[in-house]
Amino acid sequence: MKKFSKHNVYSTQKIIGVKSVSVKKLHRYGHLEEVVVKRADRQLCKFKEGGFVDLHLNNIEDMLLLAVQHKLFHLNESVIVDFIVALHMFTRSLIIKRQVEDLQLGVESYQKKLNITSPQQTFPEIEFKELYTPSYKPPGVIYEDLTKQKRVMWADELYKFSNGTLEKVWYEIHYRVFDFHLGYNTEMSRRKWTAIDKKRSELMVELIDKQMRKRRIIRTLERLVGA
């Protein structure tokens, strides 16, 4: 009688065949009671469905490939279905777990990033700049805060601004880009707008939109992680 070693479960040897699978039906789901596989070293390995977590990830891939390559026909048809479903459910849960872990790291990194210095909101020549004038080095835009004071929003500090401020600036710049024409871009404009101004404004619209989209994703992830 062939002896099985529990240490074989942790082996990195490739699985080259599935010898047998026993299934126990519970609530219409076929739970794998015992799976016997043959490895590249010709050793047999036995484990249950709960033992998937102890296997090397390459072993899960090996078994999925055997199913795709139609090398399980020596098993009963219903057993093959239960075996494949179990493998897919395990890989799906593994992917979700890893995504949540990555998301947790992303949320923690994002939260730490917020706990830093406030944005640089002004500079000596700002009074001579027209509202929503784009700058290039570094990319930024002049805007008006709630106290009607001129402020500067640098592209590399967008994450420091509130959603309301970002939305207001995005709308104003987007309006100017959409309604763009060479010369005086708006009735209130005191300076001529060029094609370069348009490109710089488009860049800020794109960057703000990217930042806001990232925040929406982060909020969704925070709810997911919290759940």
pLDDT tens string 120-141 = 667 777 777 778 888 776 788 8
Confidence (pLDDT) at 227: 45
- The beta-strand segments (E) located in 53-165 are 134-135, 140-144, 150-154
Confidence (pLDDT) at 3: 46
b/e per residue 206-223 (b: at least 16 CB within 10 A)? ebbeebeeeeeeeeebbe
What are the residue ranges spanned by the domains of the chain? 6-113, 126-226
Rounded CA-CA distance 217/61 in Å is 31
What percentage of the chain exceeds 90 in pLDDT?
A: 5
Give the position of tokens 């601004």.
161
Pair 212, 163: CB distance under 8 Å: yes
pLDDT in tens, 6-27: 556 667 788 999 999 988 887 7
pLDDT at 173 > cutoff 70: yes
Residues 169, 175, 178, 182, CA torsion sign: negative
- List, as own/partner pairs, every contact residues 34-39 make where C-beta atoms lie below 8 angstroms and the sequence separation is at least 24, other chains included: 35/83, 37/63, 39/8, 39/11, 39/13, 39/14, 39/15
Alpha carbon distance, N-terminus to C-terminus of the chain = 49
